[in-house]
Structure 1
């Protein structure tokens, strides 16, 4: 087998950052990354099983490339689908050689050695109860302007609809010292923005007992050279007042909170096993709104959960106006393997789920159009992420995590990762347009 590899990533930011660490590990083991699967000796699929389509894509892709088995190529399925499906993947796709869940990534060097020795069925599936995290100094960072740090892995929440606790294992946090050491390495490499990651990032519990999540935020925010710190995704059950207080106190912490509500109905939240009510959630929103800074808020919402009545849906719809989200990520419920919700009677037909999703997005679009208009005439600091040469625009992002497309009169366009003050001249429901000030 040629010591070259191609990796394709499905799913969330956690998966994307996991791939950065997997790539770094492979390169440290003497493998070279290629951008075309035809040139690779090892083809890896880092998989997601949060939604059904991502899972289907993986098996479709495997079937598409099985003809390459005869060329001596090896295949690895890693991540959530690997943990969920386990050794059944060998039955569905017998040409796959490695099946590994994310909790076993730290064992990748050993698995690669076994692969090179000629083994054809290698699994890393038994580590969901581990207390260890996947830490490596060999992360291959692919984002040129934002450095990601996973501070907590796994999930203990067992929401009725969610497969993550069954695929990523129990919650386990890195020490604050480890996180800060990585933050300093990122800063020394020239990055000015850090994003802290976790399935429930604010459930962080320092094994050494030195820092709370809010204290860790403050410490990362004061690392020399760092201008912006983001974190995602928070859980309402662990969203505490000191998080808002530290956002107010430390200017480098971005003024944006992503706080998934999932439903505006307390009855549906109870069925989802979210362990909070609408009023509990709104109390935390009130803390955010009372901050000295204006903090942008975004959320995740599921419509059509089993048993959701029209009244329940209306409570979710009214929540949008009550909170004033700057964006939502809404999805219709789909049953996932091994979750408690899969045994619930799903009496809501598909057409109604689609209708509710459309209605919710329509409401949010109208609210967002009005919300974004408040930025008209403002000057905001924008971090450059790229260029749209066809439109003659620079693409960037504000501290509030809003996309800002702007023009500049300078002959040389600002480089990705640089910061530009932009005066907002036009607003849209999902983006802002402006001119370099």
Structure 2
């Protein structure tokens, strides 16, 4: 069989970065990446099972493309759905040859050898007790301006609604030395922004005992050439004040914290098994709001969890007013396999979930419109993420606070390189973005990053 592959990624940023590592491993094994399923001998779907919609997309893709099996193509389902469904995927989609959870990616070269030897059903389904992490120097960096580093894999929280502990395994951290070595490699490639990743990134425990999470943040920010350090996603139970202090003291650490609350009701939080209260969470919000820097706060919220009363939902709405989030990712509760919540009584009717989500989003839009106004006439440093004009004749970048900033430039100036930085004077406020005009010429992206972008441009990533 030819050694070409196509990969499609569904779900979160962790999955997207997992795909970068899978791509790098395949390239190292002598495979060639293609941008069309029709040109691939191996088609991989990196899957997400956080919500049913993403999961069903995967099976829809498998059904649509099973006709390609007659052309000798092989199919692989990897990631969370693979770990969750296991060998049942072979029954549902008999044309699939390889099923592998994320904890088994380190064994991918051996699985590829078995695939080429003609095996028809190959599995890599590790249990949650593994201590191994998927560290590889062969990561393919597909993002044109930001380098990702996974510092911790898995989850030990077992929230009642969440499937991640069952699909990603237990929490296991990399040594700080390995993280810093990867940060240095990324900087040498020309990247100036790094984002640290983990299901619960601030649960990080250095196996070597040298650094806690706040120390690691600061150390990554000290790598020569790095101008911005981000991290996601934090859990309130491990969110400590030294994280806020580190951000306040070091401008290289981005002034943005994503701190999922899920509900503003202590009763619902208890039912969710989040193991903190509304008051505990708001204490951490108070730390952030009292910091010397203006730190942007974003969150995740689930509405319609089993047993959520009108009063519980009202507690969530009042939490929005207290926290003054810059963005909220709101979701309707949906039952997931193997989770305790699937057996809970007092299910909320779908129409009530829809109504509550609409109320949540409407109130948050009002808050954002008011809260974003603080940026009017502010000079904001922006990293350029798109140097192609949008329909309004603007370029697009992102602030340190992770806000989208659309901006214009003086006529006759060359489009700013992606990954370059410039100052933008904000003159328009929108509920989910800022707009303004470039108040400085772009500080050029490094030649190494421009070369990397040219290499990345050979491929496109399909996202589900």
What TM-score do you get using the length of structure 1 for normalisation?
0.99
Contact 1:299 1:327 in 2 (8 A): yes
Alignment partner of 1:416 is 2:436: no
Q: Which has the higher contact order (CA 8 A, sep 6+)?
A: 2
The one-character-per-residue Cα deviations of 1:115-143 (angstroms, maximum 9, x if unpaired) are 00000100000242111100000000110
Alignment partner of 1:310 is 2:305: no
Alignment partner of 1:120 is 2:120: yes
Q: Number of residues paired by the alignment?
A: 437
The one-character-per-residue Cα deviations of 1:194-252 (angstroms, maximum 9, x if unpaired) are 00000000000000101000000000011100000000000000000110111112110
- Structure 1 match to 2:398: 397
Mapping 1:185-200, distance limit 5 Å:
185-200=185-200
Contact 2:394 2:407 in 1 (8 A): yes
1:346 Cα offset (Å) = 4.2
Mapping 1:8-407, distance limit 5 Å:
8-386=8-386, 387-407=388-408
Partner-residue secondary structure (3-state), 2:118? coil
Whole-Å separation in 1 of the counterparts to 2:341 and 2:127: 25
- Structure 1 match to 2:449: none
Contact 1:104 1:127 in 2 (8 A): no
1:391 Cα offset (Å) = 2.5
Segments of structure 2 that go 5 or more residues without pairing to the other structure are: 440-464
Segments of structure 1 that go 5 or more residues without pairing to the other structure are: none
Whole-Å separation in 2 of the counterparts to 1:196 and 1:346: 38
Whole-Å separation in 2 of the counterparts to 1:21 and 1:408: 37
1:392 Cα offset (Å) = 1.9
Contact 1:380 1:422 in 2 (8 A): yes
Whole-Å separation in 1 of the counterparts to 2:89 and 2:195: 33
Contact 1:103 1:133 in 2 (8 A): yes
Whole-Å separation in 1 of the counterparts to 2:268 and 2:131: 32
**Which consecutive aligned stretches of 4+ in structure 1 deviate over 6 angstroms post-superposition?**
none
Cα RMSD between the aligned structures? Answer: 0.7
Partner-residue secondary structure (3-state), 1:374? helix
Whole-Å separation in 1 of the counterparts to 2:250 and 2:434: 25
The one-character-per-residue Cα deviations of 1:136-178 (angstroms, maximum 9, x if unpaired) are 0000011010000000000000000000000000000000000
Partner-residue secondary structure (3-state), 1:331? strand
Contact 2:305 2:347 in 1 (8 A): no
1:389 Cα offset (Å) = 4.5
Whole-Å separation in 2 of the counterparts to 1:49 and 1:312: 27
Whole-Å separation in 1 of the counterparts to 2:220 and 2:283: 27
1:355 Cα offset (Å) = 0.3
The one-character-per-residue Cα deviations of 1:274-314 (angstroms, maximum 9, x if unpaired) are 00000000000111111100100000000000000000000
What TM-score do you get using the length of structure 2 for normalisation?
0.94
